[in-house]
């Protein structure tokens, strides 16, 4: 007899900055919101079989605070997500590795205005990797100091 594994798995799709720039109520920066869709699937032996719905979220690209969209907002957001217009926001993540202290810093560079935002500093390597994953950064410029 074999063992069967079952459960629920979530797959994410990052759509990036979309729509008109809005002011964030938390950090008060004006940027396009980032949209992320999470599709939930029931799986058997790690093979997705049953779609269990999808949730759409929007985030501020600087402070990364956001909400799950409700029905009315979802319809408008789906139209935005399909829009192929190039984003006006140009925020580029950058990591700095301090070899002597064995710590990492994470920054966001605004290529349009030249501003730099500190996301978090003096992190251990594990914290840095987790923060990159939580913010959906795949490849970022990393500098050693």
Query: Could you say which DSSP state residue 15 is in?
Result: E
User: How many Å separate Cα 135 from the centre of its chain?
Assistant: 4
> What's the pLDDT tens digit per position in 2-12?
677 888 888 99
The SS3 assignment for 85 reads coil
Element at 103 (helix H, strand E): strand 103-110
pTM over 0.85: no
pLDDT at 1 over 70: no
How far is residue 35's CA from residue 83's CA, in Å, rounded to a whole number?
12
Closest CA to 95 of 56, 59, 135: 135
Least confident of 20-24, 46-50, 60-64, 100-104: 46-50
Predicted local distance difference test score (pLDDT) of residue 104:
95
Tokens read off for 91: 């925020």
E strand or H helix that includes residue 114: none
Residue with tokens 């079989």: 49
More confident residue, 69 or 2: 69
- Distance of alpha carbon 103 from alpha carbon 53, whole angstroms: 40
| Number of residues written out for the chain | 145
Instruction: Tell me what the pLDDT averaged over the chain comes to.
Output: 91
Q: Give me the long-range contacts of 119-127 (CB less than 8 A, separation at least 24).
A: 119/93
């Amino acid at each position: 007899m074999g063992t069967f594994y079952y459960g629920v798995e979530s797959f994410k799709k990052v759509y990036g900055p979309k729509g008109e720039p809005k002011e964030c109520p938390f950090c008060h920066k004006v940027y396009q919101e980032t949209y992320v869709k999470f599709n939930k699937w029931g799986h058997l032996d790690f093979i997705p079989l049953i779609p269990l719905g999808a949730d759409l979220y929007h985030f501020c690209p600087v402070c990364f605070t956001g909400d799950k969209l409700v029905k009315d907002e979802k319809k408008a957001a789906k139209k935005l997500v399909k829009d192929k217009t190039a984003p006006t926001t140009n925020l580029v993540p950058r990591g700095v590795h301090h070899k002597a202290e064995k710590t990492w810093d994470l920054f966001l560079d605004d290529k349009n205005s030249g501003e730099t935002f500190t996301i978090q500093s003096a992190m251990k390597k594990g914290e840095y990797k987790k923060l990159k994953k939580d913010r959906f950064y795949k490849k970022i410029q990393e500098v050693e100091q």
